[in-house]
């Protein structure tokens, strides 16, 4: 199964994608996580991407495209989280060999709720896992207590990211609606509630692979 997850910054994409990946046996590919990881490790990709990520701008497709293409070559069943974010990226993705998306899950959240969630979240400096404001003071994945605010969650940067989302990513939603792939889910409420809606949107047929023939 090949899924794309789209939603504004703070929609909870990372949390949802991780759970969906585990439940359906998919690779979880988050471009945000890949970039943060590359920056933390000081790789060539990290050096190229740092400035963009920390100021809330999109990393150019010339830089990110080859990374995504490489990762997707290795994984036939995936949930893509944070990609595509522009029409250019959506077209690039559909042109990649082996890519035939089954569904695009759009998690809809209003701006105020998205902001409130992003403001309190923290990233683990040891393993990169992101946790919400309402979670424990130790990392839920590795147990480290070295948690910090995400560099791009400052209010001004958050506003910028939301504006970029409205301008660049909203057209991607319409693109997939036009291709009959879009499944819209209400992203307000608690984690379990949202996850249940996402699973309902994926549906048993898709999970069994009926739509793939």
Does 87 engage in binding with ligand ADP (CB under 6 A)? no
Catalytic residue among 57, 119, 141, 150: 150
Q: Backbone dihedral region of 10: left (phi > 0), alpha (psi from -120 to 50 degrees) or beta?
A: left
CA torsion angle for 148, 153, 155, 159 (degrees, to 10)?
180
One of 6, 53, 67, 103 touching ligand ADP (CB under 6 A): 53
- Residue 142: which of 157, 128, 121 has the closest Cα? 128
Give, in degrees to the nearest 5, the angle at Cα 90 between 59 and 36.
30
Instruction: Please indicate whether residue 85 is annotated as part of the active site.
Output: yes
| CB 203, min distance to ligand ADP, A | 25
Nearer to ligand ADP, 112 or 213 (CB): 112
- Residue 71: which of 104, 38, 41 has the closest Cα? 38
- Number of chain residues interacting with ligand ADP (CB under 6 A): 20
Residue 40: which H helix or E strand, with range?
Answer: helix 31-41
Instruction: Please indicate whether residue 150 is annotated as part of the active site.
Output: yes
| CB 63, min distance to ligand ADP, A | 8
Does 64 engage in binding with ligand ADP (CB under 6 A)? yes
Does 29 engage in binding with ligand ADP (CB under 6 A)? no
One of 1, 59, 93, 123 touching ligand ADP (CB under 6 A): 59
């Amino acid at each position: 199964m090949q899924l794309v997850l789209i939603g504004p910054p703070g929609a909870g994409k990372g949390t949802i994608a991780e759970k969906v990946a585990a439940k359906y046996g998919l690779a979880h590919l988050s471009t945000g996580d890949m970039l943060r990881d590359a920056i933390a490790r000081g790789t060539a990709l990290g050096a190229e991407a740092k400035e963009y990520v920390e100021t809330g701008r999109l990393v150019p497709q010339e830089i990110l495209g080859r990374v995504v293409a490489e990762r997707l070559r290795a994984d036939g069943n995936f949930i893509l989280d944070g990609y595509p974010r522009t029409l250019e990226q959506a077209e690039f993705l559909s042109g990649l060999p082996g890519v035939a998306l089954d569904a695009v899950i759009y998690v809809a959240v209003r701006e105020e709720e998205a902001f409130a969630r992003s403001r309190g979240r923290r990233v683990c400096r040891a393993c990169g896992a992101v946790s919400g404001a309402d979670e424990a003071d130790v990392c839920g994945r590795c147990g480290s207590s070295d948690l910090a605010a995400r560099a791009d969650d400052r209010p001004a940067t958050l506003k910028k990211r939301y504006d970029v989302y409205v301008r660049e990513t909203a057209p991607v939603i319409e693109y997939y609606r036009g291709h009959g792939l879009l499944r819209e889910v209400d992203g307000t409420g608690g984690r379990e509630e949202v996850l249940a809606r996402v699973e309902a949107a994926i549906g048993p047929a898709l999970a069994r692979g009926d739509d793939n023939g």
